[in-house]
Amino acid sequence: MIRPALDRRLFQPESRQSALAVAYVVTLYAGGLAGAAYLLTQASVVALLACVPAALAAFGLFLHGVLGHEGFHFNLARDRLASCTLGVLVSSVLSGFCVTGYAVDHWSHHRLNNASNDPDLRLFSRYRGLFGRLVLSRLAATARYACLTARLAAGDHTLAAAVPIKPASLITLARLNLMTQTGWIILHLIAAQRFPGLLIAWPLCLMMVVLISGLNSYQEHAFTQEQPNVPARSRSSVICSLLYMGSNFHLEHHLYPGIACWRLPGVHRQLQAAGWYSDKSHWVETGFFHSFRFAQRRYAYAPKRIGDTPPVPSTHDNIQGNDHVT
């Protein structure tokens, strides 16, 4: 697939935009969590309304993980190590999600997208039922990333080779990741002593994040058997763009992983204007709720046909360029 050339400035991180992104996700999470905690201390009928701010907080918490993902794509700061460090510090708010171990798998996922040795394909394709996809897949992924992070923190240099930063730096980031994970959990527990509603609101948000992130994996990569070897799906709903901060344009992310997620809606519009989607309409989902159907059994994770040629592995650097991609 020939990908249109984009302005190289789109690939340059801007500290102001990164700061605004961090402020957005922190506000969404903290505001929603505070609202849910308050409502849960009210009368039983009113307490039911806590699900609304809790859902917003859950999306904010999910976006903390997204910023960790952006950090390890070097999209938060021009210095690679600074970008990764910021990603670790922010994403550790999402209890249990160790972004350093996730980065090991995610870089391989980009290089081997949908090939038999794609770690995401191996993990997520095993789940077919709704409960497995929404709950078990995310719990299994979370456990795997935590184990990879622990191995890195213990000095496993073999894992460090997957991410293009110095092995010693990645090992240090893994140790920082485990420390900040612990620190954020302690801060939540301290806050819960003063605001008892948090004892319910916080776990409720975490459970919602499991559902959101579990569903998200299949919304991005599940297709029918008649649509094999599709790189990824984008969801162009305005609601999606607000709740996912542009990371819903996952196809564009695979084409241009060196562009920050909040810039991807603009990339989508450019590709649309260039007619790039004219023969790829099933790669874009325009509805918000309609995209929930991809969690169903009939949509396989990255489906393949016998004899199909797997995607050509590609590095982060040449995906940023203006060459051909698959």
Taking the CA atoms of 283, 259, 184 and 81 in sequence, report the sign of the dihedral they define: positive
H or E stretch including 138?
A: helix 137-153
DSSP for 197-228 reads THHHHHHHHHHHHHHHHHHHHHHHHEE-TTST
CA distance 281 to 296: 20
- For residue 325, the model assigns a pLDDT of 35
- DSSP-based three-state secondary structure for 249: strand
Question: Which residues, including other chains, have CB under 8 Å from residue 281's CB and lie 6 or more apart?
Answer: none
Is 1 domain-assigned? no
Q: Residue 3 falls within a domain, yes or no?
A: no
DSSP class of 234: E
Tally of domains within the chain: 1
Strand duo 234-235 + 300-301: pairing: unpaired
More confident residue, 320 or 28: 28
Asked if the structure places residue 325 within a domain, the reply is no
Inside any domain, residue 158 = yes
Q: Which two tokens stand for residue 103?
A: 């980065």
- Among 18-27, 29-38, 107-116, 142-151, which is the least confidently predicted range? 107-116
- 254 vs 275: CA distance, rounded Å: 18
Q: Are strands 300-301 and 222-223 parallel, antiparallel or unpaired?
A: antiparallel
In a domain, 326, yes or no: no
34: in domain: yes
Written as six digits, the tokens of 116 are: 């038999």
The SS3 call for residue 180 is helix
Which candidate, 148, 192, 193, places its Cα nearest to that of 170?
148
Give the tens place of pLDDT for each residue, 219-240.
999 998 877 678 899 999 999 9
- 317 pLDDT band (50/70/90 cuts)? very low
* Per-residue confidence (pLDDT) for residue 1, from 0 to 100: 58
* 256-299 residue pLDDT tens: 999 999 999 999 999 998 888 888 888 999 999 999 999 999 99
Banded pLDDT at 65 (limits 50, 70, 90) = very high
What pLDDT does 4 receive?
81
Domain boundaries, position 188? 8-320
Q: Can you give the pLDDT at residue 198? A: 95
In this structure, is residue 106 part of a structural domain?
yes
pLDDT of residue 321: 40
* Any domain includes 16: yes
CB atoms inside a 10 Å sphere around CB 305: 9
The answer, yes or no, to whether residue 2 has pLDDT greater than 80, is no
Residue 284, beta-bridge partner list: 234
Q: Distance (Å, rounded) from C-alpha 282 to C-alpha 290?
A: 13
| Exposed e or buried b per residue across 206-219, where buried means at least 16 C-beta atoms within 10 angstroms of its C-beta | bebbbbbbbbbbbb
Q: Give the pLDDT score at 48.
A: 86
Compute CA distances 227 → 1, 8, 123, 233, 300, whole Å.
16, 32, 20, 11, 10
pLDDT score of 315 more than 50: no
